[in-house]
Structures are given as C-alpha cells and as structure tokens.
Structure 1
Amino acid sequence: MSTDIDHVDDRDRRRYLKTLAALGAVGTTGIAGCLDEGSGSNDGGGSGTLEVVHGWNSGDGQAAMNALKKAFNEEYPDISTDYNGAGGDANSNLNTVIANRLQNNDLMGSFANWPGKHLERYKGALMNVEKDVWKEAGLKDTIHEATVEQCTFNDKMPAVPIGSHRMNNLFYNVQVFEEAGVDPESLDSIDALISAFETIGQNTDAVPMTQAMSGPWTNLQLFAQILLSQSGVEAYTNFIEGNPDGNAIRSALKATKNILQNHIPDNASTLSMTEANEKIINGTAGCVHQGNWLYGAYRRNDQEYQTDWGWIPFPGTEGVYVFHLDSFVAPANNPTPELTKQWLRFVGSKKAQITFNKNKGSVPLRTDVDPSKLPKYLQQMYEDLRSAKQLPPTIAHGLAVTPQTLTACEEAFRVNFMGPYKVEAAASDLESAVSN
C-alpha cells in the first residue's frame, strides 16, 4: 500500500506469517462461523460511530489518509467517526489486526486492504455491498473495468477501490544518468538495463541500482518484472495461474541474480524501502525498481519530476500496466452497516479518489476524473491505466495469488535468494508454490 506500511523486514513478515498460520488452523470457515455474509442490514446501522481501520500511519499514506478523513468529515459532519491506524509500520500488521478482530467478532465498520485473491483470507466474513454501494452510486459505470473484476470476490462485491499503484516502474536520478551518459529511453530490455548498470558503475561514483532487501518481497517483485520483461504477459499469466514455464522462471532468476550480485549496495540486506529510496534522492544510486508509491517520497522531499528524478516503464514492459489496488472492505454484520455503505460510496466518489491519490502517489480508478486535477506524473499514470491493453495483476501485493501462494513464493526467495542466490532451488520452490 505504501512505502511505509506494507514493506517490512523479514522478522516482521515471519511474525505475521505465524499469526496467519495460527488463524489458518482454525480456517476461513472459523471466521465464517462467527459471521454470516450478507447485505449487512441490522437495527441501528445508521447510528453509532463508524470505525475505519487502516495501516497508513506515516509517510505518503498518512498524508493521503488524513486528507481523505478530512474530506469525509467535511462532507458528512453529522457522522461520528473513529479512524483507527493499526499499530506498526506494516501491511502485515494491518492484516494481523483485521484477522484477529474478525476471528473474535470485534467488528469495525470498514478496513483498508488489497482486494483480488488477497480477500481469500476473509472468506465468509464479508458484506456484499453490490446493491447499496456499487449500483446505488453508479460505480460499475465509472470504475475501471479490471478494478470491478478485482473487487468481485466469491460472487459478491465486498470492497470499493480507493487507488492503484503501478508496479512495473524504473525510477532514476536524472543527474546520475546524465553523468553516466545513459539515455533512459534506450532501456528496452533486461540486457540493455544491465549494460546501463555497467556504464553507471564505470562512469560515476553511484551504485547502479538501489534495492531494499530487509525482507524477500522486493526480490520477488523484481523477479516478477523481469519474468514479464523477458517472457511476456502470457508467461507471467501462466505463472500466476499455476502453469509455470520452468525455462522462463530460470532465465528471470539468472538475470535477477546478476543484478543482485553485481549492481546493488553492499548493505542492501539491511536497507528499508525508505533508506533504499533515499539513495535516489541524494544521488548515490542511479535507479530503483518499485511501485509508484515512491512518488510520494519524492514529492515530500521537494524533488521535481524530470528535473531531479525521472521514470520509465520497467525495461521490456512498455505498454503494460502491472496492476496493484488499495481498497476499503466491508465486514459482514458489523455494528454500523449503513454508515459503512455511506463511507464506501464516498470512497468511490471523484472527490475521494482525487483527494487520496494526489497525496498518495497512486492513481484514481474512476474513468471520469479530470487529469488536470492530478500532478503531472500522476496524469501520465492515469492516462496509462486508462489506455493499457494488458493489466497483469501484481504477485507481491495480493491481487494475483492467494495468501497461501504468496507466502510460499516469498519463502522461496527468503530461503534461496537473499544471498547466495540459488537459481535452481528457487525455481523449483516457485514452481511448487504456484502449482499447489
């Protein structure tokens, strides 16, 4: 969701996985046993205090959430609200808090989460808001079609999207690239990218690429972009759908190994996402691959687009928009169902989408937003999303695979690909992860 909340060190991630495993012992039917899916109507649903749980406690996410809260409270001053930031700096923490509260029938009005297959963890515990939110607010006619699909789960619609982050990005320091003599527009393949890394290493004092490796998800995310770049959307889609091409996986892992062994900081294993991105801001690194939540950090540090930093699609993925979504979700039988629906209708509105995303560095999902209301960089991302013919969903951020599969993919990298980089072992574990 943000540079500050869903990207965590390996210790935090493992702690979350233990909690998820414990809940898994009860099973999704355990949550479903406490709750019944439905429209959420019950007595008193239009009164009380609306509680919204989220994980945006710092950085770009905090600024965006604060702006969204202010806009909602101005629009509906008579609604009592409690915006509850889940403790810590990780989406993992948020997921744990939500799962525990649902399990204990300690329900909130709405919570922030990724939609798509990520919602599998909450199966049986979600309200269907298709009629009272999606249809009543006309969202199916104005929300990007691929987003509507991702917000449909188990033949119901329990979530409303708030913004999209593009995943297939390469951000670069303009001065470093100019000093090295690297033309970013010439980077159209992984081979061209690695050649540029060698040039940066030879011609400047900057490290060619910065990478945060305090946890395995960043290496999984980088591998996914390289797989897409080298072998195309079909191979990527086959991978996430459980029909992996072993040769494509191994080729992508070999290229990932080359980059991680030769072109990133020596202390990458200790770097957080914020620390890694600081190297772009201060000019000690040439480029970084990440979701476009990094825009929020550049904006906060008064970095000018195309003057201090630049952007290109990850080499070899031109014309593709790798799809990430943030949304707000409605739990079933919560104490304020009517307020929940009011909140979600607002989340889907133009006002909410513009207010949140221009602060977050993400892209509105409505197709009728005036792009001039967005900063220059986000205008480009908005148009790219609207025009994209191919929108493969992100692996590392919950849309493309179930929580169990994502856990197994991360484990393949944690065990085999955090240095030393064992291509064959990682490939075997990844094939097993998506095939089971």
Structure 2
Amino acid sequence: MLKGAGAAGLAGLAGCTGGGGSDTLEVLHGWTGGDGADAADALFSAFEDEHSDIDFNENPIGGGGNENLDQTVANRLQGGNPPSSFAGWPGANLEQYGDAVGDIESEVWDEAGLKEAHVQEAVELCEYNDGFSAVPLGSHRLNDLFYNVGVLEDAGVDPESIDSADALIDALDAVESETDATPFAFSLAPWCILQTWAQTMLGEHGYEAYTNFIDGNGDEAAVRDTFEKLEQILGYINSDAASVDFTEVNQDIMSGDAAFIHQGNWAAGAYLSPDRDLTYGEDWDAIRYPGTEDYYTLHIDSFIYPSDNPTPEDTATWLQFVGSEEAQVAFNQYKGSIPTLTDVSTDEFNPYLTDTIDDFDNAAEKPPTLAHGLAVDTSTQADLEDVLNNNFADPYDVDGATSGFMDSV
C-alpha cells in the first residue's frame, strides 16, 4: 500500500528516520513458548504470504515477561543497530526509548486509516511525542482468573460465588483440603506478583483507589490491606513457585494438577492451541478476578518503530499489515487476545474470545495494567518489582512492601 503513495511520501519517511543500509526487514518478538508461539507463526506466515517480495527475518527472543527481548532491544538501540521493528508495549512503556523511536503517523496511521479503525484506547496508547510510534496488534485482559473445571468440581467450589478476596481464599482452602491439586498455580517472578497485587487492589478497593495509587496519591491503608490479602492467597501456591515461570505452572491447569491461575488472557493462548484437546467451559474456564467483574484491565500488544530505521519502506508496510484485519485475526485467535480493530469478523474466534470482546465493549472501566508499561513508566515499574523482590517473595514483609510501594509511586 505504501508503494502506491508515491516518491514524495517515501522521501518524507526516509528523512524522518535517518534511513539504513539493510535490505532485510528484521522483526524482533518474544513469543517463543506456550503463550504465543502459534500466534506468532500465524501472524508472520500471513505477512509472508501477502508480501512475498519482501526479504523478511523473524527474530524470536525467548524469556518470560519480555525481559530478554527488552534487553536485546535496548542493546541494539544503544549500539546504533536497531531492528526494523520490535514487539513491545505502548503507553508509558514508550517513554524509555526517547528519540530512539520515530513517528509513523503519516506513513502508517494516516495512510492505512488506522485512527478510525481501532478502539480509542489503543489509538491513544500508541501516541508518543506528538505523533505515533507504535501500531496495536491486540488487546489482553489482565483480570481473568482461569481454572480447571474438574478440579473445582472435585473440591465442591462454585466459581460464580467467588466475588471477593476472602471468597477466593475460602475456595483455595477447599481445593487444598478436598483434592491433591495445587490451589493457586503461581510464579514468584516480580512481574507476576505485581500483576496479581494490582488486581487484588482493584478488586478489593475499586477503580478510584487503583488509579489514585498509579497517580501517586495512593491510600496507604488500601495498599497495606491489599498486601495482607495477597499474602494469604500466596499461602496456597506451588512449592516450586520461586523457580518456575508462568508457562510451566500454566501446564498444571491444563493437566488438572492445579485449580486456579491468575494471568492475562495470554494464558488462554495455551488452552486454545490446535495441539491441545481442551474445551472452553468443559475442561477450563475463567471468571473475572474477584471484585473486578465490571472492569477490563487493559493491556495492549503492539509493534514499535525505531527512528533510525534500516528498512523504512518495508517497515511501514509491515506496520500497516499489523494494523489490518488479516493480521489481527491471524494473531489473536491463537494468542488469547482480541483485535483492537472495531469492525472485524469474529468467525475465526472461539467462544472465550467472543465473550472477551463483549466484555470489552460493555466494561464500566478499563484501568491500564500496572505490570506491563501502560500505567507507569518503566523506571517506576522496576522500582515496584524491586520492592516485591526484596520484601514480598517469601518471606512476606507487609510493612516493607507497603512503604516501598508508596515511595515508588
């Protein structure tokens, strides 16, 4: 599509990026495991089918929570060797890159009509430095509590009755006493603790208390109470939580060795894999994290545009594709996420994802995720994770964690 825009548009793009000498479109991403490998394969295969004339190099960087990917990107940008594009989170997360990310408003957003085609939340999160530096690929919900249907039946637990942290603790206790399954599958990685803390805060104290905390005006009593509730919940986790990542413990939900897991709905990407024989509503299911039933805790996957771009024309073609219906259907149907396009066919989506789309459309509030760069900048997020690593990853120091969180924001 960009090639039809004419030489003037391409000259403008090259001028704003600084150009580059490579002929290969190199795209970095972190989807190498059970939470996204199938989705990535579908996305990149669809692009190569449509743009076989482009020399394309998909470069996957493994590691939980995008940690290895983020470090690789930082090294490449600081070393003056940027990729053509990389998967990352928009919103406050973009601030860490400074001028290392460029503006693609004219060449991508305006050229492909993306501003009108995508939900407003995604559009706003991709804005940066009075322009646009990213294109959204899909939306994740952070306030899902997934469970194994059979384990809850064996424990005599009605998931629809779990409407508070106390009710969740009662359910976890029932699983522990009535079954051999782990009540709450968990990884003690700081980002995993942070995202579950955030949903506990939101569920126990509401949207205003959560957003006040993000803005630096948090109620210390609410922060403390959230840590006290979370300490009780984490009393029911797997004994190897300090040494495993979330993809490993998610296997226990699928095998029936664990009852509950809290993750973003990328966890459902593993359940939806064509390689697994799992049925939504029969083998696995989900409720909203207790107390967040009216909310959709928002997270966005996107692809970002480095300013000193080695392949500006082909990168613009790639990013226009990322924002298209073909890309968003190919990726999200396997990732456990939903398109950010407002008008897209749901024929390829399973009932869980169509339910999620309905929930997005009807949510009373869409608070941004705290653990993935949308709510706070990366420096503040790192400070929060340091507090958890030092004070709340067994042993659990509620006082230290509370004061550390208040200071961090």
- Quick one: distance in 1 between partners of 2:64 and 2:233? 28
- Per the alignment, residue 142 of structure 1 pairs with 117
- Cα deviation for residue 206 of structure 1 reads 2.1
- Per the alignment, residue 264 of structure 1 pairs with 237
Instruction: Please state if 1:176 is matched with 2:159.
Output: no
Partner of residue 237 from structure 1, selected from 205, 211, 214 = 211
- Cα deviation for residue 43 of structure 1 reads 8.8
- Quick one: distance in 2 between partners of 1:132 and 1:190? 48
SS of aligned partner of 1:269: coil
- Per the alignment, residue 287 of structure 1 pairs with 260
Q: CA RMSD in A?
A: 1.9
- Cα deviation for residue 219 of structure 1 reads 1.4
| Deviations 1:216-267, CA, capped at 9 Å, x for gaps | 2211111111100011011110111111110110010000011112x22233
Partner of residue 178 from structure 2, selected from 203, 206, 216 = 203
SS of aligned partner of 2:36: helix
Task: State whether residues 48 and 80 of structure 1, in contact with CA within 8 Å, keep that contact through their aligned partners in structure 2.
Answer: yes
How many positions carry a matched residue from both structures?
Answer: 396
Task: State whether residues 50 and 340 of structure 1, in contact with CA within 8 Å, keep that contact through their aligned partners in structure 2.
Answer: yes
- Cα deviation for residue 357 of structure 1 reads 0.7
- Quick one: distance in 1 between partners of 2:240 and 2:35? 25
- Cα deviation for residue 48 of structure 1 reads 2.4
| Deviations 1:32-88, CA, capped at 9 Å, x for gaps | xxxxx9875579789922111212223342221121111111111111111122355
Q: One-letter code of the match for 1:224?
A: A
- Cα deviation for residue 270 of structure 1 reads 2.3
- Quick one: distance in 2 between partners of 1:403 and 1:44? 28
- Per the alignment, residue 33 of structure 1 pairs with none
Instruction: Please state if 1:395 is matched with 2:370.
Output: yes
Task: Assess, with a 3 A threshold, how the Cα gap between structure 1 residues 86 and 198 changes in structure 2: closer, same or farther.
Answer: closer
- Per the alignment, residue 274 of structure 1 pairs with 247
Q: One-letter code of the match for 2:246?
A: M
Task: State whether residues 18 and 309 of structure 2, in contact with CA within 8 Å, keep that contact through their aligned partners in structure 1.
Answer: no
Gaps of 5+ in 1: 1-36
- Per the alignment, residue 105 of structure 2 pairs with 130
Instruction: Please state if 1:299 is matched with 2:272.
Output: yes
Task: State whether residues 39 and 129 of structure 1, in contact with CA within 8 Å, keep that contact through their aligned partners in structure 2.
Answer: no
Q: How does 1:37-436 map to 2 (within 5 A)?
A: 41=16, 48-86=23-61, 88=63, 91-213=66-188, 215-261=189-235, 263-300=236-273, 301-434=276-409
| Deviations 1:262-317, CA, capped at 9 Å, x for gaps | x2223322232122112211222211111111112122332211111111111100
Q: One-letter code of the match for 1:352?
A: A
- Quick one: distance in 2 between partners of 1:417 and 1:138? 46
| Deviations 1:6-30, CA, capped at 9 Å, x for gaps | xxxxxxxxxxxxxxxxxxxxxxxxx
Task: State whether residues 41 and 337 of structure 1, in contact with CA within 8 Å, keep that contact through their aligned partners in structure 2.
Answer: no
SS of aligned partner of 2:303: strand
Q: One-letter code of the match for 1:54?
A: H
Task: State whether residues 144 and 263 of structure 2, in contact with CA within 8 Å, keep that contact through their aligned partners in structure 1.
Answer: yes
- Cα deviation for residue 131 of structure 1 reads 1.4
| Deviations 1:99-127, CA, capped at 9 Å, x for gaps | 11111111221111111111111111111
- Quick one: distance in 2 between partners of 1:237 and 1:39? 40
SS of aligned partner of 2:136: strand
SS of aligned partner of 2:128: coil
Task: State whether residues 40 and 127 of structure 1, in contact with CA within 8 Å, keep that contact through their aligned partners in structure 2.
Answer: no
Quick one: percent identity of the two aligned structures?
Answer: 48
Task: Assess, with a 3 A threshold, how the Cα gap between structure 1 residues 46 and 361 changes in structure 2: closer, same or farther.
Answer: farther
- Quick one: distance in 1 between partners of 2:181 and 2:18? 62
Task: State whether residues 41 and 338 of structure 1, in contact with CA within 8 Å, keep that contact through their aligned partners in structure 2.
Answer: no
TM-score between the two structures when normalised by the length of structure 1: 0.87
TM-score between the two structures when normalised by the length of structure 2: 0.92
- Cα deviation for residue 128 of structure 1 reads 0.7
Task: State whether residues 16 and 307 of structure 2, in contact with CA within 8 Å, keep that contact through their aligned partners in structure 1.
Answer: no
Task: State whether residues 35 and 247 of structure 2, in contact with CA within 8 Å, keep that contact through their aligned partners in structure 1.
Answer: no
SS of aligned partner of 1:101: helix
- Per the alignment, residue 16 of structure 1 pairs with none
- Per the alignment, residue 34 of structure 1 pairs with none
| Deviations 1:295-340, CA, capped at 9 Å, x for gaps | 1212233221111111111110002000111110111131211111
